[in-house]
Structure 1
Amino acid sequence: MSQPLVQMLVLLVSLHQLSVVSQSKAHSEREAVLIPGDIVLGGLFPVHEKGGASCGPNVYNRGVQRLEAMLFAVDQINKNKKILPGITLGVHILDTCGRDTYALNQSLHFVRASLSNLDINVLECADKSVPRVKKTASAGPIFGVIGGSYSSVSLQVANLLRLFHIPQISPASTAKALSDKTRFDYFARTVPPDTFQSIALVDVVKSANWSYVSTVYSEGSYGEYGIEVFTREATERNVCIAAAVKVPSAADDRMFDDIIQRLSKKPNARAVILFTRAEDARGILEAARRCNMSQPFQWLASDGWGRQIKLVEGLEDEAEGAITVELQSENIPGFDEYMASLTPESNRRNPWFSEYWEEAFSCVLRKKEFGVVGQTAIGQNSTVCPAKLRLTPETGYEQESKVQFVVDAVYAFALALHNLQRDVCTKTEGLCATMANYDRGMFYRNYLLNVSFTGESEITAY
């Protein structure tokens, strides 16, 4: 057996053991969106917020919208007879819970599903029988992966997927480190790196004539790389950093209170730059409320806060006057109508949609047989969800800012696959054997990185 293959299989066994040891019993971790197809794309989205060990109880609005954006795009492509004629796209979507180690374990499902692509001619059994790869529950071999969202997740997942030549496109990971093609040679993204928003934050600081500011950043690649660029650019432009505070990945209320106290010790630096994850930004605002400060801070935040309304719900006074930046994007035509058409009864392919519905409308779904839907029991003080509820602007729905980038990522895969089909399936309608077994590395380099198109938002994507 060849040495690289031995190393690959040893790594897989080791990671399998890791997944068994660290596997949680939470219900969300056993669920997936599985839609079979001739070609299957994997998906990794933070459907739930991170918890103490893995998944928290709360559904993450952004993550569910991004998951539905992938399903929406796949539906559109499968209906379009001009893209991948005779070929149906399927999906295998998993929840990362916003945690890098858990996402790594989840990605093993993609690796196992793709092991059927191994050339078994290089394997030899001791009893001379024909080697066989054990099948696992999946929608089929994974041709590529859409995700992750958090940069820390994408960094971990990309290191695993590259070993098995599985291309990956992230619609949200902006860490500068992911631009290093010597380390992440199967990774691409539909968003720009953090360098640009870090510089934009310094531009805002200078335009406001602030020369003395504090910074708060999340532990991990997103916060640490982003604030590094901001600090370097700010220093070069004569802006002094009063305090630089890191938010630990497992921060609790006490830690957030301590951060506010540290910032308060620099009374002349009322402007605070936040390069944090969404949950960390909310934790800081909650701590600011608990501290009941007489003089509020002026917040300037990255796209981790962005334009999320739910992040400041109940904390409007603490967030008043905040300036946040967001990546430029356009609403995807038809997606709002798609979301408005979904109900827990009609959207059975998304196993987390009932939880999302209950959280979005602060009500409890009624299940005919048991009086329970998802994990929420109907109690005396619970409000049962009215049957006529829909996800519309009137009920508080708003299209998430990175939906466009998810749709662009799916179309990038589909159009690259379409070009591959055109080149190698010249004598066959639909999926030919040459295309099904085409080397993923060559597909990434020759097709995926060279695709360009005008997306659903009418913005040209490369």
Structure 2
Amino acid sequence: MQSKWLQTVSGPPLPLLLVLLLVPPALGQHSVLLDGDLVLGGLFPVHEKGDGTPCSAKLYNRGLQRLEAMLFAVDRINSDRRLLPHTTIGVNILDTCSTDTYALNQSLAFIKAPLDVMDTVAFECADRSTPRPKYRFKSVSGVVGGSYSTISINVANLFRLFRIPQISPASTAQALSDKTRYEFFARTVPPDTFQATALVDMVQLFNWSYVSTIASDGYYGHSGMDAFHRQAAERNICIAVAEKVPRDATAKTFENIIMNLQKKPMARGVILFVRAEDARGVLEAAKRLRLREPFHWIASDGWGKQESLVQGVEEVAEGAITVELTSRRVAAFDRYMAELTPDTNRRNPWFRDYWQAFFGCSLAPDAAEDTACDPALRLRPETGFVQESKVQFVIDAVYAFAHALETLQLNVCGVNLAVCQEMRKYDGGDFYKKYILNVSFTGKLLVTLSYYMM
């Protein structure tokens, strides 16, 4: 298989972020905490963005699969006798709720250990004795995430202050390629310019010279669509209407976008560089307005090949062409997911809700017979489970950290295969520059995993 992308970038200090450090993360939120000799952080959109609140109750299939992909990779590494054989990797995985400000607030958990601070909820005194800590945060060796580019950009600025390495398996904004701004950021996916080129190629293939565009507000939509507009102009493709979806878009917002597109009836091709929820909003608005003539959609990987995104709006989505990054299905991950049940997967606090939403059933003890979940249910292709396209890139990121940590361990701990004090105190910025950027390996998951700087 072709080499994966490990792109590096860097960033300037943002003094305003120091003010945010005074604001504690939201209390009472779940996370996935697994102890280990070394700990990796994780940031994934487990829930969708809320309407007026940071988080909605609706789970995001892509985000939950990526979370499980990280756990799957860590399990494989911890059971591997050749890779970090005498060292275990733990995790501290947080939900970003697909919201940049919320993700930044959540990410403060990763800097608690370096600052040696704890929340009051981290203490317990069940017998009314002196309060004792229930748990202590360990410093993270690095963070896998975020998914959305806007989230990665915000947290990268925070991590830069504390020299925490970050590898994103999904953020594609071209802005993240600026090595003068995002110093300890890397990714296992290529930037948006490649997608923009593919979209322009398709427009030219259909011999269209007059199209409209829709972009999500934020770095992903802006940088991707800017690249598309620039390349379209170079090929004499004119833009009829250029719409942007604001972050607080409502159903009326999407209807206005569709009505604006209709003002240019000659431009039936519409290019979307949008997040998944915005693509869904556009399609739902088109359905509500009962268009006489359908639009021909061409969309970026924000839509990709998500079947759930077009459920209920198939008639307006019919004929759409979407871009997805090339990846291979990891067969071992499918087997891993097929073995999970709500009873066996207690480490993921969101899995029970995911199970009920996926199968449309109830796990409540008093659930009626016609709504209760069948104990025989499993997450398999025959029951509708489809592996998310960026699972491989999450696994790539975790293995990149593991191989870099192994090389660091050999160099600073010598023949002592345990995690020595020098390794624990090793500067995260130096770890990123000397080890992460130079990692190269072949995986054992029927996928060749190798990295190079772009």
Q: Is the 8 A contact 2:409 2:417 kept in 1?
A: no
Give the letter aligned to residue 85 of structure 1.
P
> Counterpart of 1:280?
278
Secondary structure at 2:78 match in 1: helix
Deviations 1:51-77 (A, max 9, x none): 022001100000000000000000000
Count of paired positions: 423
* TM-superposed deviation, 1:135: 7.6
* TM-superposed deviation, 1:182: 1.1
> Counterpart of 2:240?
242
> Counterpart of 1:30?
29
> Counterpart of 1:434?
422
Residue 405 of structure 1, aligned match among 381, 393, 414: 393
Give the letter aligned to residue 114 of structure 2.
S
* TM-superposed deviation, 1:454: 2.2
Deviations 1:212-231 (A, max 9, x none): 00000000000011000000
> Counterpart of 1:461?
451
> Counterpart of 1:124?
none
2:40 matches 1:41: yes
Superposed CA RMSD in Å reads 2.0
Percent of residue pairs identical: 59
CA distance in structure 2 between the aligned counterparts of 1:381 and 1:199, rounded to whole angstroms: 53
Residue 420 of structure 1, aligned match among 404, 408, 419: 408
2:71 matches 1:76: no
Q: 1:427 to 1:116 in 2, by over 3 A?
A: farther
Q: 1:242 to 1:362 in 2, by over 3 A?
A: same
2:18 matches 1:18: no
Give the letter aligned to residue 390 of structure 2.
K
Deviations 1:399-433 (A, max 9, x none): 10000000000000000001111111114231111
Q: How does 1:8-407 map to 2 (within 5 A)?
A: 14-19=19-24, 23=26, 30-51=29-50, 52-116=52-116, 137-367=135-365, 371=366, 378=367, 383-407=371-395
Secondary structure at 1:18 match in 2: coil
Q: Is the 8 A contact 1:47 1:63 kept in 2?
A: yes
Give the letter aligned to residue 242 of structure 1.
A
* TM-superposed deviation, 1:116: 4.9
Secondary structure at 2:331 match in 1: coil
Q: Is the 8 A contact 2:338 2:380 kept in 1?
A: yes
Deviations 1:305-337 (A, max 9, x none): 000000001111111000000000001130000
* TM-superposed deviation, 1:450: 0.6
CA distance in structure 2 between the aligned counterparts of 1:459 and 1:318, rounded to whole angstroms: 38
Q: Is the 8 A contact 2:396 2:449 kept in 1?
A: no
Give the letter aligned to residue 177 of structure 1.
A
Residue 447 of structure 1, aligned match among 417, 424, 435: 435
Q: Is the 8 A contact 2:17 2:158 kept in 1?
A: no
CA distance in structure 1 between the aligned counterparts of 2:419 and 2:85, rounded to whole angstroms: 9
TM-score, normalised by the number of residues in structure 1: 0.88
Q: Is the 8 A contact 2:214 2:243 kept in 1?
A: yes
Deviations 1:227-268 (A, max 9, x none): 000000001100000000000111110001101100011100
Q: Is the 8 A contact 2:410 2:417 kept in 1?
A: no
CA distance in structure 1 between the aligned counterparts of 2:287 and 2:16, rounded to whole angstroms: 51
Q: 1:226 to 1:8 in 2, by over 3 A?
A: closer
Secondary structure at 2:349 match in 1: coil
Q: Is the 8 A contact 1:34 1:139 kept in 2?
A: no
Give the letter aligned to residue 409 of structure 1.
A
Deviations 1:22-49 (A, max 9, x none): x4x7xxx610000010000000000000
Secondary structure at 1:416 match in 2: helix
Give the letter aligned to residue 269 of structure 2.
A
Secondary structure at 2:23 match in 1: helix
Secondary structure at 2:191 match in 1: coil
Secondary structure at 2:43 match in 1: strand
Q: 1:197 to 1:336 in 2, by over 3 A?
A: same
CA distance in structure 2 between the aligned counterparts of 1:256 and 1:9, rounded to whole angstroms: 36
CA distance in structure 2 between the aligned counterparts of 1:318 and 1:109, rounded to whole angstroms: 43
TM-score, normalised by the number of residues in structure 2: 0.90
Give the letter aligned to residue 32 of structure 1.
S
* TM-superposed deviation, 1:114: 3.2
Q: 1:385 to 1:348 in 2, by over 3 A?
A: same
Secondary structure at 1:347 match in 2: coil
Structure with more contact order per residue of length (Cα contacts < 8 Å, sep ≥ 6): 2
CA distance in structure 1 between the aligned counterparts of 2:32 and 2:294, rounded to whole angstroms: 44
* TM-superposed deviation, 1:9: 11
CA distance in structure 2 between the aligned counterparts of 1:82 and 1:116, rounded to whole angstroms: 34
CA distance in structure 2 between the aligned counterparts of 1:17 and 1:449, rounded to whole angstroms: 32
CA distance in structure 1 between the aligned counterparts of 2:260 and 2:379, rounded to whole angstroms: 41
CA distance in structure 1 between the aligned counterparts of 2:137 and 2:75, rounded to whole angstroms: 16
CA distance in structure 2 between the aligned counterparts of 1:113 and 1:270, rounded to whole angstroms: 54
Q: 1:238 to 1:166 in 2, by over 3 A?
A: same
